[in-house]
Amino acid sequence: YLAKARHFVNEHSLALHLDGARAFNAAVELNVDITDITQHFDSVSICLSKGLGAPVGSLLLGTKALITKARRWRKVLGGGMRQAGMLAAAGQYALENNVSR
């Protein structure tokens, strides 16, 4: 299914985004590596609190060019957090320890 979606967007010069709020849960349930799912997408958002146990946080994954544009839009729209190191540490812990739970 995902390969067919990738083929379609390639044929039509489109981009494919995965709202991966529960992508790690899907990978565990399917007994596959997360990259088996995400490899078909141009960008992926990962929620660190849904299923991974972090208090807050999300990740946007994509090319360097995409992330540069996203950072610009985040600033234009007033987004961002200051001194978020404690929250980032909780997110890192969730990624390293809570995927299989």
pLDDT(81) > 80: no
Measured between alpha carbons, how far is 65 from 68 in angstroms, rounded to an integer? 5
Residue ranges per domain, the chain?
Answer: 2-97
Report the C-alpha dihedral over residues 29, 39, 65, 14, rounded to 10 degrees: -110
Measured between alpha carbons, how far is 91 from 67 in angstroms, rounded to an integer? 19
pLDDT for residue 87? 81
pLDDT(101) > 80: no
Q: What is the CATH number of domain 2-97?
A: 3.40.640.10
Convert the pLDDT of each residue in 21-67 to its tens digit. Answer: 999 999 999 999 999 999 999 999 999 988 888 888 889 999 999 99
